[in-house]
Amino acid sequence: MNSKNDILFARAQASTPGGVNSPVRAFRSVGGTPRFITRAEGPHFWDADGKRYIDYIGSWGPAIVGHAHPDVIRAVQEAATHGLSFGAPTEAEILMAEEICRLLPSVEQVRLVSSGTEAAMSALRLARGATRRDKIVKFEGCYHGHADSLLVKAGSGLLTFGNPTSAGVPEDFARHTLVLDYNEPQQLEEVFRTMGDQIACVIVEPVAGNMNLVRATPEFLQTMRRVCSEHGAVLIFDEVMSGFRVGLGCAQGLYGITPDLTVLGKVIGGGMPVAAFGGRKDLMQHLAPLGPVYQAGTLSGNPVAVAAGMATMKLVQQPGFYENLGAQTNKLAEGLTAAAREAGVPFCADAVGGMFGLYFADSIPASYKAMMATDKDRFNRFFHAMLDLGVYLAPSAFEAGFVSAAHSDAVIAETVSAARQAFTRL
Ligand code: PMP
C-alpha cells in the first residue's frame, strides 16, 4: 500500500459504498485500484501519485474541448462571481435554450435539467403523459440513466415484458418496459403490430455508446420512425452521449431522422451538471406549469453550469471543429488497429465523430450479443498495460471512448506507440 491511490481507495471505501460515487469508476470489471484524479488539462489528467495519463474518457463525454479549457474556466469564474444559484430565471437559460433549438431543428422547445438520468426520466414521463399510454420500448445494451422504468432487461421472449436489472425496481414497473434487440427492425414491426396502441414511446441511443460503440443501421432507425408515426408513439433519441459528440447536428443529423423528443447531457454542460430534454412544441406544452406532466428542479438551468455549457457550445461551433475531431479519432482507431495487426492480435476499432470503440474481435460488433462475445479478458489485460504506460481508457470492455480537440497528433502518436507495446504483452 505505497500508492496514494491505494490509500485513498481504502479510505473511500470506509465512507462511501465501494469507494466511488458512480459504479464504473471502481474498476470492478478490469480489477485493480481506481486512480484518484487531482487535476486535468487538455488531453491529460494526473492521479494522486502524480502520474500523468492521456485521458480517453473525458469525464465520459463532456470534456470535448479538452480539460480546463481557458474559455470555459473563465466563463465559470465570471458566472460564479455573480452568485451560484438563484431559483429564479436568468437570461443565460434563454440563450442556452435558443442555442439548442437553433442547432437541432427537431427541438422546438427545451427544458434544462441537471443530469442525463433526470432528462431521460422526464422525457419518458412526458411521452406517457402526452399519449396516455404506459408501455415503453427500449433496447438491450442501451443505457438511459437509472430511472426505474429504464433499469430493465429483456424477458425470456420477444413479447414478454422486461425484468429489472437492479434490486429495488418493482416487477410492476418493469412489466411496462419492452426490451428489444438493437438493430433488429423486424422486432419493432412485430411489437407494434401486436400492441402498438399501448406503446407511449420508443427510446434509443441512435449511436449506442453504453455497450461499447455500436452504430445503428439506417434501416433500424427508419423503421423506428415509421412505426412510431403510424401508431402515435413518441420517438425519443437519447443523445446524452452522441449529442454534439458525433457532429454538430448530433446523431439525428447524421442519419437524417427527426425524433419527437431528444435527450441531451454531457457536452452541453461542458463538464458541469447540465442536461436537457426537448422536441415538438405540442409535446413540450404538456409540461408543468402549462400542462399536467410534472417536472421540476432546484438547480435546473444553474447559472454557473450553463456558463460552462455555453462556452463549450461556442467552441464546438468554430469552423472545422468536428472535421478535426473526427480526423483525430480516426487516426487513433486506425493507429490502434495497425498496432494490433503487427502484434497478430485479433482486434478492430470504429469511430463516429469524437467517439470510438475498441473490440477484441475479428469484426466490428453490430449487436449486443456480438459485443458480449468479444474477448473481455484480453481487453482487461490491454487496459492495464495501457494504464501502466500512461493511457487511461474506459475501465470496461463495454464502454465507448472519447477524444477531445486537445488530442493532438503527438498525443495520438504517443498512444499508438504505447499500444504497440501493450499488444505484445497480451
Ligand atoms: N443516457 C445516455 C445515452 C448516457 O450515456 C448516460 C450516461 N452515461 C445517461 C443517459 C445518464 O446520464 P447521467 O449519468 O448524467 O445521469
Q: What is the pLDDT of residues 229-249, one digit of tens each?
A: 999 999 999 999 999 999 999
CATH classification at residue 217: 3.40.640.10
Amino acid 2: pLDDT: 81
State yes or no: pLDDT of 156 exceeds 80: no
Distance from Cα 3 to the centre of ligand 1, integer Å = 31
- In the block, residue with C-alpha cell 453504453: 210
Q: What is the mean pLDDT of the chain?
A: 97
| Residue 282 is a catalytic residue | no
Beta-sheet strands, E only, within 242-387: 261-264, 275-279, 348-352, 355-359
Nearest CA to ligand 1 atom 10: 144
Amino acid 158: pLDDT: 67
Is residue 398 domain-shared with residue 297, that is, in the same domain?
Answer: no
Is residue 76 domain-shared with residue 28, that is, in the same domain?
Answer: no
Show the domain range for 32. 4-68+319-424
Atom index in ligand 1 nearest the CA of residue 22 equals 14
Distance from Cα 144 to the centre of ligand 1, integer Å = 5
Residue 309's closest CA among 334, 286, 275? 275
Amino acid 201: pLDDT: 98
Q: What is the pLDDT of residues 269-319, one digit of tens each?
A: 999 999 999 999 999 999 999 999 999 999 999 999 999 999 999 999 999
Q: 256, 281, 316: which is the final residue of a domain?
A: 316
Atom index in ligand 1 nearest the CA of residue 209 equals 5
Beta-bridge partner residues of 277: 111, 263
Is residue 259 domain-shared with residue 148, that is, in the same domain?
Answer: yes
List, in order, residues 6 or more apart from 394 with CB less than 8 Å away: 24, 56, 57, 400, 401
* Burial per residue of 136-156, b for 16 or more beta-carbon CB atoms within 10 angstroms, e otherwise: bbbbbbbbbbbbbbbbbebbe
Beta-bridge partner residues of 263: 238, 277
Mutate to test the pocket of ligand 1, among 22, 122, 149, 210 (most ligand atoms within 8 A of CB): 210
Contact 213, 355 (CB under 8 A): yes
Q: 316, 350, 367: which is the final residue of a domain?
A: 316
Is residue 141 domain-shared with residue 218, that is, in the same domain?
Answer: yes
Distance from Cα 368 to the centre of ligand 1, integer Å = 18
CATH classification at residue 359: 3.90.1150.10
Is residue 94 domain-shared with residue 232, that is, in the same domain?
Answer: yes
Q: What is the pLDDT of residues 220-231, one digit of tens each?
A: 999 999 999 999
List, in order, residues 6 or more apart from 260 with CB less than 8 Å away: 106, 127, 228, 234, 235, 236, 279, 280, 283
Is residue 219 domain-shared with residue 365, that is, in the same domain?
Answer: no
- Distance in angstroms (rounded) separating the CA atoms of residues 260 and 235: 5
State yes or no: pLDDT of 47 exceeds 90: yes
Atom index in ligand 1 nearest the CA of residue 275 equals 15
Is residue 75 domain-shared with residue 30, that is, in the same domain?
Answer: no
Beta-sheet strands, E only, within 48-116: 52-55, 109-113
Is residue 159 domain-shared with residue 295, that is, in the same domain?
Answer: yes
Distance from Cα 210 to the centre of ligand 1, integer Å = 9
Is residue 108 domain-shared with residue 211, that is, in the same domain?
Answer: yes
- Distance in angstroms (rounded) separating the CA atoms of residues 392 and 235: 35
Catalytic residue chosen out of the listed positions 135, 138, 266, 331: 266
Residue 188's closest CA among 179, 198, 175, 197? 179
The pTM of the whole model exceeds 0.95: yes
Is residue 251 domain-shared with residue 311, that is, in the same domain?
Answer: yes
- ipTM greater than cut 0.90: yes
Domain count along the chain? 2
